[in-house]
Structure 1
Amino acid sequence: MKKIACLFVLVFLGAMLPIMAQPIDPSAFHGAEATKPRYRAVYQLNTGDTSVIRHALANIQNSLNDPRLKGKLDMELVVYSGAFVAYQKGKGYFEKELQSLQKQGVILAMCENTMKMRKLSRDEMYPFISYVPTANGELIIRQQDGWAIIRP
């Protein structure tokens, strides 16, 4: 009986091997197809590292520029912890990029809990920023609502 089972497995694997080993033609692959009417993603930032922040903003812009997602994308950027510097006036690091993203419909949300912990006021943030009670709460709710959570 063992020999028959082993023989069956070998025959089955032998039949499957050509199917599994077929090379993919790179010119035939064009990425995933955007078949849904809407896509939703929330980016989270919790570091003050300006290179990470710049990278995240570029990634958001790249998503907005993807021709498959044009007119189908809802985006939010949630900032907390050390990343508050991205939204802080006077630094000027990211003001133009943030304003551009907001004009394209990206929600720019700041964690009020971080502001309390760091003794920051709304006057210190860009006037075009929105606020959420906690970043973690926002991420939990968005994820349960089906949003993709992206952490650069």
Structure 2
Amino acid sequence: MKRILLVLLLSLLAFPALAQQKQRVVFQVSDNDPAKWSLALNNARNVQQDLGKDNVQIEIVAYGPGLGMLKSESKVADRLAQALDNNVGLIACENTMTNTKVTRDDMYGGIAYVKAGVTHIMKRQQEGWAYIRP
């Protein structure tokens, strides 16, 4: 009986620690479509508003045709600035950049880079991140 009470007590103490964990979500954008990018950026903003900006870590990973929206002349450049200001990670796939002969000088300032966008998303999922493809 004492053992059961001890287990219950320890369980109750563990729940607040779990509740305080930061939520993490990775969005995939692989379409060169401003509407898709706007949807992903809207989703990111809505998640922050719902959970609280400090309670969630968000990344948007672009690869393939989706990389175009992270270029310096992007049609959603104003939205990219807002996302970066709100600590949303914008991540470009370097494999796509190499294959399309795009350099970092061609890209929007302040974004991050990974070797392979798909692999990055896979790793995030293995780490427990939620995955969304708008």
* Structure 2 residues without counterparts, runs of 5 or longer: 1-17
| 1:104 has 2:86 as partner | yes
> What are the equivalent positions in structure 2 for 1:2-151 lying under 5 Å apart?
35-66=19-50, 69-70=51-52, 71-91=54-74, 93-151=75-133
The structure whose RCO (Cα within 8 Å, separation 6+) is larger is 2
How many residues in Structure 1 have an aligned counterpart in Structure 2?
116
Matches of 2:59 and 2:95, distance apart in 1:
18
Instruction: State TM-score, norm by structure 1.
Output: 0.72
Cα RMSD (Å): 1.4
Return the index of the structure with the highest Cα Rg. 1
Following superposition, which runs of at least 4 residues in structure 1 exceed 2 angstroms of deviation?
34-37
Q: Which moved more, 1:42-51 or 1:98-107?
A: 98-107
* Structure 1 residues without counterparts, runs of 5 or longer: 1-33
Q: What letter corresponds to residue 106 of structure 2 in structure 1?
A: E
Cα shift at 1:55: 1.1
Instruction: State TM-score, norm by structure 2.
Output: 0.82
